[in-house]
Amino acid sequence: MPTLDSSPLGLHRVLEPQGVLPQAATRLDPRPEIWLDEVRIDVETLNLDAASYRQLAEKHHGDGDAVRAEVLDIVAARGKMQNPVTGSGGMLVGTVAEVGPQSRLGLAVGDRVATLVSLSLTPLAVSDGLERWDGRSEQVPARGHAILFGRSIAAVLPDDLDPRLALMVMDVCGAPALVARVVRSCVKDQASQEGIDPSRRGLRVCVLGGAGKSGSLSLAAARDAGAVHLIGVVPTEAEAMTLRASGLADEVVVADARSPLGLSTAVRAVGGPADVTVVCVDVPGCEQPAILATADGGTVVFFSMATSFAAAALGAEGLAADVTMLVGNGYVPGHAAYALDLLRRIPAVRELFEARRG
The burial of 82, by beta-carbon neighbours within 10 Å (0-12 exposed, 13-18 middle, 19 or more buried), is given as buried
**79 lines the binding site for a copy of itself (CB under 8 A):** no
Q: Computed from CA positions of residues 112, 115, 119, 122, in that sequence, does the dihedral angle turn out positive or negative?
A: negative
Measured CA to CA, the distance from residue 302 to residue 284 in angstroms comes to 12
Interface with a copy of itself (CB under 8 A), residue from 62, 87, 129, 347: 87
Give CA 256 to chain center in angstroms: 23
Q: Which is nearer to a copy of itself, 208 or 346 (CB)?
A: 208
Q: Which of residues 146 and 249 has its CB atom nearest to a copy of itself in the complex?
A: 146
Could you say whether residue 321 binds a copy of itself (CB under 8 A)?
A: yes
Say whether residue 95 binds a copy of itself (CB under 8 A): no
* Shortest distance (Å) from residue 5 CB to a copy of itself: 13
Residue 220 DSSP SS3: helix
DSSP 243-294: HHHHT--SEEEE--TT-HHHHHHHHHHTT-SEEEEEE---STT-HHHHHHTE
Cβ-Cβ contacts under 8 Å for 179 (sequence gap 6 or more): 205, 218, 221, 222, 225, 276, 278, 301
CB-based contact 142:128 (threshold 8 Å): yes
Is 16 a binding residue for a copy of itself by CB under 8 A? The answer is: no
Shortest Å, Cβ 313 to a copy of itself: 5
User: How many angstroms separate the Cα of 17 from the Cα of each of 8, 20, 88, 114, 122?
Assistant: 18, 6, 18, 28, 16
Alpha carbon separation from 169 to 123, 148, 183, 196, 354 (Å, rounded) = 24, 21, 20, 37, 11
The torsion angles phi and psi of 219, rounded to 5 degrees, stand at -60, -45
Which residue, 205 or 243, is less far from a copy of itself as judged by CB? 205
Rule CB under 8 A: which of 231-270 touch a copy of itself? Answer: 258-262
Smallest gap, in angstroms, from Cβ of residue 37 to a copy of itself? 13
Q: Applying CB under 8 A, does 294 fall inside the site for a copy of itself? A: no
Q: Give the residue, chosen from 41, 267, 280, 316, that forms a contact with a copy of itself under the rule CB under 8 A.
A: 316
Residue among 6, 103, 118, 218 that touches a copy of itself (CB under 8 A): 118
128 part of the interface to a copy of itself, by CB under 8 A: no
Instruction: Name the minimum Å distance from CB 188 to a copy of itself.
Output: 10
Query: How many of the other CB atoms lie within 10 Å of CB of 108?
Result: 10
Among 56, 75, 92, 117, binds a copy of itself (CB under 8 A): 117
Quick check: 308 binds a copy of itself (CB under 8 A)? yes
Identity of the residue, 176 or 330, whose beta carbon is nearer to a copy of itself in the bound complex? 330
The answer to whether 170 touches 192, Cβ cutoff 8 Å, is no
Smaller CB distance to a copy of itself: residue 151 or 357? 151
3-state secondary structure of 44: strand
Residue list 163-202, contact with a copy of itself (CB under 8 A):
174
Stretch binding a copy of itself (CB under 8 A), from 14-22, 36-44, 57-65, 94-102: 14-22
- Using alpha carbons, list the distances in angstroms from residue 242 to 250, 351, 352: 13, 10, 8
Q: How far is the CB of 41 from a copy of itself (least distance, A)?
A: 16
Please give the residue ranges that form the binding site for a copy of itself (CB under 8 A).
7, 9, 11, 19-24, 86-89, 116-118, 120-121, 151-153, 174, 258-262, 285, 288, 292, 302, 305, 307-333
